[in-house]
Structure 1
Amino acid sequence: MIFKELAIPGVYLISIEKHEDERGFFARSFCQKEFAEYGLCTEFLQCNLSYNKKKGTLRGMHYQIPPYEEVKVVSCLQGAIYDVALDVRKNSKTYGKWVAAELSAENHQMLYIPAGVAHGFQSLRDDSIVYYQMGSFYQPDSGEGIGYNDERFNIQWPILDKIISKKDQSY
């Protein structure tokens, strides 16, 4: 795997290394040893799927407050998403900054999101499926969110016609 740290400390774009032949390819999407070499979470306690029926579906910006912060490794198994990480760690020198990456079934890339960083995405195609590996269990009472359109952060979403839940609109 190839790990590229983005402009927010601890946020990594992870690319697989394909071993291809006439049948297709084989690649690792997780290796405890390699994740540990970068100081990343190596224990995933929960995995989630998000099916997004329509292009433009926006989910986020979500995070959990202490002591239940979440580490996430996000990938797109079908379709494509615009995946966003927003630093909400108060003592971080990149507090309020965001980064984004296009994750798709074709590029097989993953976004590693450390604890204290909010996460959201917008589907770029109909029928997109997002897969999350979670470093901690979901704690509903610790879930928080930030408005996808909060002017303090000015996240630039690629699709103007958004489909957003009432809960995500309320942040």
Structure 2
Amino acid sequence: MKFQATPLPGVLEVLAEPAVDMRGRFLRSWCEAEFAAAGIDFRPVQASISENRARHTLRGMHWQAAPAAERKLVRCLRGAAFDVVIDLRPASPTYRRWYGITLSAAEHNAVFIPQGCAHGFLTLGEACWLEYLIDAPHAPEAARGLRWDDPGISIAWPAAPAVISARDAAWPDHG
């Protein structure tokens, strides 16, 4: 695994290094020792899959409030998605800035998201699956969100959403 810094502190692109032969590919998607060697103490307690049927399905922008704050490793298992992280840590030098990355099954890349950041994505094709490894149990009462099109954040999405839940469409602006 390779860990590449992004413009947001603590948000990392994680690149797999697949072994390839005549049978196909084999890759490590998470390894506690490799994360620790990179200075990241990350121990997932939950794995979830987001299955999205339609192109331009938007999910986000979500986070969990303290004391249920969580860190996530998000990877695209099928298809591709434009994945976005917003830094909502008030003490951060990149507070209220966003970072977008294309995650794809073909590239085997992932994004590591620290606590205090909102997350969402827009699928770039049909039948897009994303896997989340999360280091805290889900706490519905701690769920928070902000609008995907918050004018104070101004995310440059590659397309308008064709599918979005009523809940995600109704999140307030961050202020």
Count of matched residue pairs = 171
Give the drift of 1:41: 3.5
C-alpha contact 1:78 1:129 (8 A) present in aligned 2: yes
- Report the AA paired with residue 146 of structure 1: L
C-alpha contact 2:82 2:100 (8 A) present in aligned 1: yes
| Secondary structure of 1:55's aligned partner | coil
User: How far apart are the structure 2 equivalents of 1:55 and 1:165?
Assistant: 14
Give the drift of 1:96: 0.5
User: How far apart are the structure 1 equivalents of 2:39 and 2:165?
Assistant: 35
Structure 1 outlier segments of 4+, above 3 Å: none
Structure 2 regions of 5+ residues with no counterpart? none
- Report the AA paired with residue 22 of structure 2: E
C-alpha contact 2:45 2:137 (8 A) present in aligned 1: yes
- Report the AA paired with residue 108 of structure 2: H
Give the drift of 1:161: 4.2
User: How far apart are the structure 2 equivalents of 1:37 and 1:149?
Assistant: 37
Can you list the C-alpha shifts for 1:119-167, whole angstroms capped at 9, x where unaligned?
A: 0000001110111000101111111001000011101111124311110
- Percent identity, aligned pairs only, is 38
The farther-off stretch of 136-145 and 33-42 is 33-42
C-alpha contact 1:41 1:71 (8 A) present in aligned 2: no
User: How far apart are the structure 2 equivalents of 1:145 and 1:91?
Assistant: 19
Give the drift of 1:58: 0.3
Aligned partner of 2:11 in structure 1 is 11
Can you list the C-alpha shifts for 1:44-72, whole angstroms capped at 9, x where unaligned?
A: 01111111110010000000111111101
Aligned partner of 1:71 in structure 2 is 71
- Report the AA paired with residue 116 of structure 2: G
Give the drift of 1:18: 1.6
Aligned 1:105-120 pairs, distance under 5 A: 105-120=105-120
Given the two structures, how large is their TM-score scaled by the length of structure 1? 0.97
Aligned 1:32-51 pairs, distance under 5 A: 32-51=32-51
Can you list the C-alpha shifts for 1:80-128, whole angstroms capped at 9, x where unaligned?
A: 1000010001111110011111111101100100111100000001110
Given the two structures, how large is their TM-score scaled by the length of structure 2? 0.94
Aligned partner of 1:157 in structure 2 is 157
User: How far apart are the structure 2 equivalents of 1:13 and 1:97?
Assistant: 17
Can you list the C-alpha shifts for 1:9-64, whole angstroms capped at 9, x where unaligned?
A: 01010111121111112221111111112232431011111111100100000001
Across the aligned residues of Structure 1 and Structure 2, the Cα RMSD in angstroms comes to: 1.0
Aligned partner of 2:56 in structure 1 is 56
